Structure 1
């Protein structure tokens, strides 16, 4: 749209040099909201799960038809129980709607459609799992079903629905072809006030709705009165110290604690390991325990932690902020030279140059 050479802006300016381009305020707001929401891990995870669910259910015409049939049956059941009103325009049968990043209102429609067809979606997913052609597809679809029926997903689903109901009117006004700036300013003010009111007084009502929904759909509810264990501050530090003690070489001689090492990775260093490494880590510890720790020769070793402590001290000097992209091999060689600098100082520079020259013809 706003490309300087071949965009619509450039084409119009070629014919009308006095025209000027203003980026759509609604799109700017939408992109800012999407970016902000992705910074909150549970919200970002919620929308990823939502997209995953919609992709699976809308993967074929057959599944779409199954969803429509299940929705029709559910509507008929609720009407028989007198839980739904019946009049013209109500209880329309539709499909799950996919959210679009440039339209925040589409997120509201997507959340609302899933909430409205939650029971039908769960039934269709169960049918898909039963009809899976192989274990790989069954595992993928079971993951989607487990995500749908988790308390965290249901809670955020209701939270997003309540929040987006408040902001939807403002979004619609910003996307209107005929802008009424005064009306938009009033909506900004009222939207902020309603969000603050929901933040101050809406918790009890939201939690009651979520618990009722979970009980209706046989979803396990978390115990809100359970004792909360803080994961920051002193408790966080104490847990780190306790788990780190599993790295002490003497601990391997006494009782190798692979479970503590796995927790250390998951809770404190998740970004340092890829997902595959995390999955196979526990089995690798089992191999290490069987092949190394239980080896008779290993048990005879007299272990000192002095070298380990020297390495960690040296690492602060060698791997600084300016060298944060240093590869492991280069870091190891640099640490070795720094730690054993007394030995390295005895080497002649000329001998090192000669050895390097003899390694390979350049």
Structure 2
């Protein structure tokens, strides 16, 4: 478990520093909390001074009720949890949807189909030739129109677990190249000399031509199309927190609308696709069976095919998406970030609002400002906004960090000390941090198979020197030698 501290230094700059790495034998939330508290206490850091916490996607850490997040909130109610914007949200949403068994099966088959079609240059050429032939036919019947850059020949994209939006791109490419993919799989099933390859290709072809696959294919396209805009926005290096929060709310609203009003449209699109590609459409009023041989479910729990697709797949998958979004972006965190944007100096302090900032302090930082300071803060804000819009050094700023640094540089942090304190509290919120992920990547470089017996203490020290190169570069060899000499002399005294 890697621990990274996010703080504001004396110059008003945000710092993220790798602090420690602990090998935890138990991954329960309580054990993880004890490990973090032990690390902090050894360096005389009080847990009550925490003002923000952020984790990766592990449920035992970020759980709202029983996770590490909740345990720290009990001891320190002002250590607000903010979802790490750098975490791959699209992959987390895919993982959430795969908790529905038919969706998990769909992605497994999707991966196999793409790998089979793109496994060799020969298959790639066959796929493109089939796509070219299909485009010529569609142009002949005037279903598509010619034009510059239109109807280009492409390839089916792989869905990888390390890239943003790759699953969405893979689904869209398969829909676009559906006939070409069917042609290649059918050819592999007939011509493959290996019985395993032939059988797998035949199985994939039959699944590709099933109503189940087509329905989930279009369902995931709709869901991931809605969430893709948010996922792409969150990976930007320069975060616009206000617009990001609007996107989160809009995404939740659109997914909820899809749940309430999207069934008929989705079913119509699936039927049109099935008719176009000669796929058998089942009678939705028939009873759903657990196998293709017609063996129905238990007599008391028989459901129709429409109920199965609508309730057990459509509703359940969308509910998983909403649950994941609500877990990562709680209303409290969204409200906190939205209110904090009132301090943004962009566009000559256009968003700066005294009442909103005072509400932020009253609601989220009541222990960091006493009653008298809250009164003084209101007047400091009024004085500051007049000063900021006149002074050139304060006028052309765009981020909260630039504002905090400017106050320090001009020594106005001594005048507007309450504003400076509030800025530092807001800046500690972990909005977009990837330092922890880089720490784990560094561990793979340092602790290799040849050095797998490296102790935890030595590993942690080595990683600190490797990751925090800026600090280690400022330490001269002579000072290290002098320190070792002092250690020797102290031992002699004892």
1:67 matched to 2:124? The reply is no
Q: How has the CA–CA distance of structure 1 residues 139 and 227 changed in structure 2, closer, same or farther, with 3 Å as cutoff? A: closer
Deviations 1:68-119 (A, max 9, x none): 1111111222122211133333222111111122335111100000000001
Match for residue 165 of structure 2? 105
- The SS at the match of 2:257 is helix
Residue number among 184, 202, 205 corresponding to 2:265 in the alignment:
205
Counterpart CA distance in 1 for 2:220 and 2:116 is 22
- Which residue does 2:95 correspond to in 1? 35
The residue correspondences of 1:40-55 to structure 2 (distance < 5 A) are: 40-55=100-115
Change in 2 beyond 3 A, CA 1:86/1:27: farther
Q: Does 1:163 align with 2:223?
A: yes
SS in 2 for 1:215: helix
Q: Tell me by how many angstroms 1:216 deviates.
A: 1.6
1:91 aligns with 2:91: no
Is 1:225 the counterpart of 2:222? The answer is no
Counterparts of 1:164 and 1:85 in 2: how far apart (Å)?
28
Aligned to 1:334: none
Among 232, 235, 243, the residue aligned to 2:300: 235
Contact 1:100 1:106 in 2 (8 A): yes
SS for the counterpart of 1:19 is strand
TM-score by length of 1: 0.57
Q: Deviation at 1:205?
A: 1.2
User: Residues 26 and 146 (structure 1 numbering): CA distance in 2 closer, same or farther, change over 3 Å?
Assistant: farther
Show CA shifts across 1:238-266 (max 9, x none): xxxxxxxxxxxxxxxxxxxxxxxxxxxxx
- Stretch moving more, 56-65 or 95-104: 95-104
Match of 1:140 among 183, 189, 200: 200
User: 1:327 aligns to what?
Assistant: none
Q: Which digits, 9 at most, give the CA deviation of each residue in 1:261-313, with x for residues without a partner?
A: xxxxxxxxxxxxxxxxxxxxxxxxxxxxxxxxxxxxxxxxxxxxxxxxxxxxx
Report what 1:58 is aligned to: 118
* C-alpha distance in 2 between matches for 1:181 and 1:105: 21
For structure 1, list consecutive stretches of 5 or more residues without a partner in the other structure.
10-16, 238-362
Structure 2: gaps (5+ residues): 7-13, 19-53, 57-83, 290-295, 303-494
Greater length-normalized contact order (CA 8 Å, ≥ 6 residues apart): 2
Q: Which residue of 2 aligns with 1:295?
A: none
1:194-246 per-residue CA deviation (whole Å, 9 max, x = no partner) reads 111111111111111111211221111111122468947x7259xxxxxxxxx
User: Does 1:121 pair with 2:181?
Assistant: yes
* Structure 1 consecutive aligned stretches of length 4 or more whose deviation exceeds 3 Å: 17-24, 227-232
8 Å CA contact retained: 1:111, 1:157: yes
Distance in 1 between the 2:285 and 2:245 partners? 42
Q: CA RMSD in A?
A: 2.8
Q: Does structure 1 retain, via aligned residues, the 8 Å contact 2:156–2:174?
A: yes
**Distance in 2 of aligned mates of 1:26 and 1:42:** 29
CA deviation profile, 1:150-198 (whole Å, cap 9, x unmatched) = 1100100011111111111111101122221111111111111111111
Contact preservation (8 Å) 2:88, 2:231: no
Residue aligned with 2:87, SS = helix
CA gap 1:225/1:181 in 2 versus in 1, 3 angstroms: same
Conserved in 1, the CA contact under 8 Å of 2:230 and 2:247?
yes
| d(CA) in 1 for partners of 2:288, 2:97 | 25
Change (3 A) 1:174 1:211: same
Count of residue pairs brought into register by the alignment: 226
Richer in helix (by share)? 1
Tell me how far apart the structure 1 counterparts of residues 218 and 147 of structure 2 sit (CA, whole Å): 26
